[in-house]
Structure 1
Amino acid sequence: MLTSRLSLTLGVFCSSSVVLGGLVQKPHLVLPPGSQQNRDAVVDIFTTSYEAYRTYAYGHDNLLPISRKFSDVRNGWGASIVDAMSTMHIMGLNDFFSEAVQFASNIDFNKSRTADTVSVFETTIRYLGGLLSAYELSGQQFPALLSKAKEVADKMAFAWVAGNDIPYGHLNFSTNTPSHSQSNIAEAGTLTMEWATLTKYTRNDTYRELSERSARRIASQKSSHHHASSGLPAQGIDPATGTPSGGYVTWGGGSDSYFEYLIKYARLNDAADPMFVDAWRAAVDSSIHTLLKTSKIGDLVYLADYDASKSIRHVGSHLACFHGGNWLFGGRLLDNDTIVDIGLQLVDACWNTYASTETGIGPETFAYTSSESDGFYTGGAPPTAKQLAFNAEHGFYITAGSYILRPEVLESNFYAWRVTGDRKYIDRAASAVKSFNRFLSVNNTFAGLYDVNSSSSLKIDDTESFWFAEVLKYLYLTFDDPSHVSLDEYVFNTEAHPFKLSPPKRIYGSHSSSPTKPLS
């Protein structure tokens, strides 16, 4: 089944540059009946969740929905508020948005409000991305949002030490010193969209230059650790040397959004080096030839992992399930039907993890038996009799059954709807809304599950900010007018904050700002 697809890809990855002019969305999309009711149901979930956050956790990072308390896991700057702002604006929740702008305009990013260090990656995608997207969506009428974006980026710039290409992953904001530890390509390679957008509005090119330098260094890696070195860098990276660490290759956590941003950044910034498009195409090409596997049961198409011992691991994750949507996005931009076709099959396999459980919600991690000669090695314990029985029925088996309010399956489902116009994706999103209302509701808000395959599962006492930023935004937009936040007018960062397509100019004068000092 895969052989015919492989032959179609030969010769399509050789161009050194490309204009990303293709339309992503299917023209003249029309929503089916009932979409408005589903859209309104999503707004109800958002407002219910956010009112609970306002009551028990306002100003803090996360709501604890069961104990009705709060936690500060993103340095105490109010992550849920900043992360929710773009969703509020898109949903037309103007009172919430005005309140959030007022709060965000007064955050003090000069030091963490918690004892832990600051993650450059998490702070970039949630705070920097959230502030800049809200600034854009609201017509640039709140300059304090841009000012705060600059403030937090100037602190994060200390992560680049002594001219290193790769930033350290964590910083002490009180002393402006990084934690000298290993990083990964997701942390170091998921900065370009936000930092280049900051350059666009501040006209200081150092922000863009720092983030591009890191992504370009990763893309240029020629690791000897794995035979898929063409386009698939290892997950680990050493910021001190800029060299790969270990040989693990995955589209899952630790690598995921590096691959995601290669094509998205090229789309957002038409002036970007063609290297970004070429690196994404090389990653997809290598993945098709090395990682693409079909399940022995059900002919489901997955992207496997590849470990340092040069073994294929037949594992998948909720986190990795962004890949279907990403391949649809890039495949449409490149007018490559092969990539689009595989992307749709990846979307179907990830949706199957939802459709196969008692709750209709997918698990954190899973594994499968492959129809290829390389079997079902996962790098972990062999499947139990119960897991094998589940696999025989569903084409995969659950290895970690929790659901922590992740967005990726519904994200890819959203892309599939906007790309194809096939109503089945609307129906899938509608079934997710029903599952959320039935199984996640608690204390007049919503919480995750410890076991998605148990209709009586205990709930998890935590609401991550991406519930507001991603899950509910992608669901809402699935049921909303397709011309609203069109995929041909906006590019979403990995936290689902949309950035308007309006390429920044590349030359803004002096590059004199030092990467190891706050940028003026």
Structure 2
Amino acid sequence: MSTDDGVHGTNSDSVVNFEADVPKQEAVVNAFKHAWLAYERDAMGDDEYHPISKQGSNLTKAGGIGYTVVDSIDTMLIMGLHDEHARARDWVANKMSFERDANFNTFETTIRVLGGLLSAYHLTGGDSLYLEKARELGERILPTFDGTPHGLPLSQVNLARREGVEDPDYRGLVSTAEIATLQLEFRYLAYLTDEEIFWEKAEHVMAVIRAARMPHGLASIFINSEQGKFATSSIRLGSRGDSYYEYLLKQYLQTNQTEDVYREMYDETMDGIHQHLVQKSVSSQMIYTAELNPERDQSNQMSWRLTPKQDHLVCFLGGSLMLGATTTGSLVEDVSIPPKAGELTPQGLRDWKTGVELIKTCMNTHDTATGLSPEIVHFRIPNDGMEKMPNAPLDWYIKGARADLPAVYDARYILRPETVESLFIAFRLTGDDHYRREGWRIFQAIEKHCKVASGGYASIINVDKVPAEQEDKMETFLMSETLKYLYLLFSDASVLPLDEYVFNTEAHPLPVFIPTIRTGFS
């Protein structure tokens, strides 16, 4: 296993020394190599990989920027795969180019490529190649912040022209999650380069959001970029909303809990989530988060309709709430593992309990024919009409799914990491082997149903059908997130301690630091 100085924590007194489960770690490493070596064989340098057809593809006609390569590097470093890293580094040094006259998604490029380069820089102990590339990419993305009156970054960036580009499908709007999930990366880049502009641009977005925020800290999934105000749109913790909530806590933790503004925003938002979104299923009282959707009646009066729908993406929240409980919700400097009575505030105890229950719910959604969780589930509510169906589900179901019809979109599993991310955090905060057992169950299901014999892993179209029908795509977050979090779940606690690192939303670990840049945002 790796002994890189950048991987193991420096404060040995701050962690409980859980022992590594080496056989399971090795199984996860073998899975990573099965995925990486197939990609390297068939598609090295391409943004995405299609394991069944054994070919790669790029996100633009002008070529790619190596999404899969950069997304995978820090996982190699954590796993101690030095030969694989050497070849990946060689590609970055000699073949990676941002001179692509085409539009890339600002958010995805930041979390995957900029985040991956910054993490690689840290975990290699300061390999200047990665920082140089990160700085160049950051400079090319910066103009997106200048494309709207309020400094909210445009959804796309032309890297060659260094221009922000509006999303043609959502003119005048920007996604809340996308504009509020650049901050960890740009702040750390500013810290490393001492260039305040990276920090200022990213932080200004949070100032606009704070000024515009809705009651109880909740945020709709779109912001009007011309007005700097929230648009009338859904409120949810799933797509286009999720990582906004995730990064509130992580921005507070990234700078060693020195910026209270993020703690205040996070605490207010968690109150709002509990008041308006946290629900219980009809039969088993399973905790889940619903969505609020705007609708107008015949007199054009607007109201909010609660929809019992939860994306797999929301499964990050269980671990996030538990982590928040032991930081923003703690009464003592060093919370026990697991927390003891009297160590958490009432809010912290509430968040801890909700986090534990949300993880249970997410694991319950793995009770499918394949043992994998669908992309989206709906939960039973009173008088929903489902009771009239034969074999009606007790708590949750895949909307529109029928055995005699083609699979619906909601039924797919695309190698997502959110549940194993929460299992990793929960294990680190409790030491409860239950979370390792659940993670192993998910890993075995991935091995059984998603593995492609010739190399790589594929998404599956219907989690409730066996044998599983595979789809010819391996998402980059399999190697960046899913397998990384599984490996860390079975690692000893000195590997990337939670009090020394924050993970960006693509699972790229960035170190906690004391900020040297202060803008006065409070």
TM-score range, shorter chain: 0.7 to 0.9
State the partner residue of 2:183.
192
Label 1:108 to 1:447 Cα distance change in 2 as closer, same or farther (>3 A).
closer
| 2:193 equivalent to 1:205 | no
| 2:138 equivalent to 1:153 | yes
The residue identity in structure 2 corresponding to 1:495 is E
Checking the alignment, whether the CA contact within 8 Å between 2:150 and 2:208 is kept in structure 1 is no
Structure 1 runs (4+) deviating above 4 angstroms are 382-386
Label 1:383 to 1:272 Cα distance change in 2 as closer, same or farther (>3 A).
farther
What is the deviation of 1:445? 2.5
State the partner residue of 1:398.
398
Q: How does 1:287-306 map to 2 (within 5 A)?
A: 287-306=273-292
Checking the alignment, whether the CA contact within 8 Å between 2:46 and 2:57 is kept in structure 1 is yes
For each residue in 1:310-341, what CA deviation from the matched residue of structure 2 results, as whole angstroms up to 9, or x when unmatched?
01110001111111111111111122122111
Equivalent in 53, 61, 65 of residue 67 of structure 1: 53
The residue identity in structure 2 corresponding to 1:337 is L
Aligned partners of 2:358, 2:257: CA distance in 1, in Å? 30
Label 1:469 to 1:390 Cα distance change in 2 as closer, same or farther (>3 A).
farther
What is the deviation of 1:204? 0.3
State which drifts further: 437-446 or 207-216: 437-446
Aligned partners of 1:493, 1:110: CA distance in 2, in Å? 22
State the partner residue of 2:460.
449
Checking the alignment, whether the CA contact within 8 Å between 1:107 and 1:148 is kept in structure 2 is no
Aligned partners of 1:222, 1:259: CA distance in 2, in Å? 12
Where structure 1 has 5 or more consecutive residues not aligned to the other structure, the ranges are 1-22, 224-228, 377-381, 509-520
TM-score, structure 1 length as denominator? Answer: 0.85
Label 1:72 to 1:110 Cα distance change in 2 as closer, same or farther (>3 A).
closer
State the partner residue of 1:332.
326
State the partner residue of 2:341.
none
State the partner residue of 1:346.
358
What is the deviation of 1:218? 1.4
For each residue in 1:187-216, what CA deviation from the matched residue of structure 2 results, as whole angstroms up to 9, or x when unmatched?
100011000010111100110111111122
Aligned partners of 1:469, 1:266: CA distance in 2, in Å? 23
Aligned partners of 1:312, 1:58: CA distance in 2, in Å? 45
Aligned partners of 2:388, 2:198: CA distance in 1, in Å? 53
For each residue in 1:264-314, what CA deviation from the matched residue of structure 2 results, as whole angstroms up to 9, or x when unmatched?
011011376422111111111011111110001211100111111301110
Label 1:324 to 1:102 Cα distance change in 2 as closer, same or farther (>3 A).
same
Checking the alignment, whether the CA contact within 8 Å between 2:37 and 2:455 is kept in structure 1 is no
The residue identity in structure 1 corresponding to 2:81 is L
Q: Percent identity?
A: 30
What is the deviation of 1:455? 1.8
TM-score, structure 2 length as denominator? Answer: 0.85
Label 1:481 to 1:332 Cα distance change in 2 as closer, same or farther (>3 A).
same
Checking the alignment, whether the CA contact within 8 Å between 1:328 and 1:340 is kept in structure 2 is yes
Checking the alignment, whether the CA contact within 8 Å between 1:265 and 1:272 is kept in structure 2 is no
State the partner residue of 1:473.
484
RMSD (Å), alpha carbons: 2.1
Equivalent in 364, 377, 384 of residue 375 of structure 2: 364
For each residue in 1:88-147, what CA deviation from the matched residue of structure 2 results, as whole angstroms up to 9, or x when unmatched?
00000011112212222345554327x4x111100110000000000001100x211111
What is the deviation of 1:29? 4.8
For each residue in 1:25-58, what CA deviation from the matched residue of structure 2 results, as whole angstroms up to 9, or x when unmatched?
99525348xx211111100100011000011110
Q: How does 1:68-467 map to 2 (within 5 A)?
A: 68-73=54-59, 76-106=64-94, 108-112=96-100, 115=102, 117-140=103-126, 142-161=127-146, 164-180=150-166, 181=171, 182-223=173-214, 229-270=215-256, 273-309=259-295, 310-334=304-328, 335=330, 336-354=348-366, 356-370=367-381, 389=391, 391-392=393-394, 395-399=395-399, 400-442=410-452, 443-467=454-478
Label 1:271 to 1:337 Cα distance change in 2 as closer, same or farther (>3 A).
closer
Checking the alignment, whether the CA contact within 8 Å between 1:271 and 1:504 is kept in structure 2 is no
For each residue in 1:1-48, what CA deviation from the matched residue of structure 2 results, as whole angstroms up to 9, or x when unmatched?
xxxxxxxxxxxxxxxxxxxxxx9x99525348xx21111110010001
For each residue in 1:466-509, what CA deviation from the matched residue of structure 2 results, as whole angstroms up to 9, or x when unmatched?
1110000000000011111111111100000001112231159x
What is the deviation of 1:173? 2.7
- What secondary structure is seen at the aligned counterpart in 1 of 2:421? helix
State the partner residue of 2:25.
39
State the partner residue of 1:20.
none
- What secondary structure is seen at the aligned counterpart in 1 of 2:150? coil
Q: How does 1:39-58 map to 2 (within 5 A)?
A: 39-58=25-44
State the partner residue of 1:492.
503
For each residue in 1:388-437, what CA deviation from the matched residue of structure 2 results, as whole angstroms up to 9, or x when unmatched?
73522xx2101311011110011111111111111111101111121111
Checking the alignment, whether the CA contact within 8 Å between 1:205 and 1:507 is kept in structure 2 is no
Aligned partners of 1:260, 1:308: CA distance in 2, in Å? 23
What is the deviation of 1:345? 0.5
Aligned partners of 1:445, 1:108: CA distance in 2, in Å? 23
- What secondary structure is seen at the aligned counterpart in 2 of 1:446? coil
- What secondary structure is seen at the aligned counterpart in 1 of 2:234? coil
Aligned partners of 1:201, 1:437: CA distance in 2, in Å? 39
Checking the alignment, whether the CA contact within 8 Å between 2:502 and 2:512 is kept in structure 1 is yes
Aligned partners of 1:204, 1:173: CA distance in 2, in Å? 20
Checking the alignment, whether the CA contact within 8 Å between 1:26 and 1:419 is kept in structure 2 is no
State which drifts further: 60-69 or 239-248: 239-248
State the partner residue of 2:299.
none
Aligned partners of 1:503, 1:101: CA distance in 2, in Å? 29
Aligned partners of 1:273, 1:414: CA distance in 2, in Å? 26
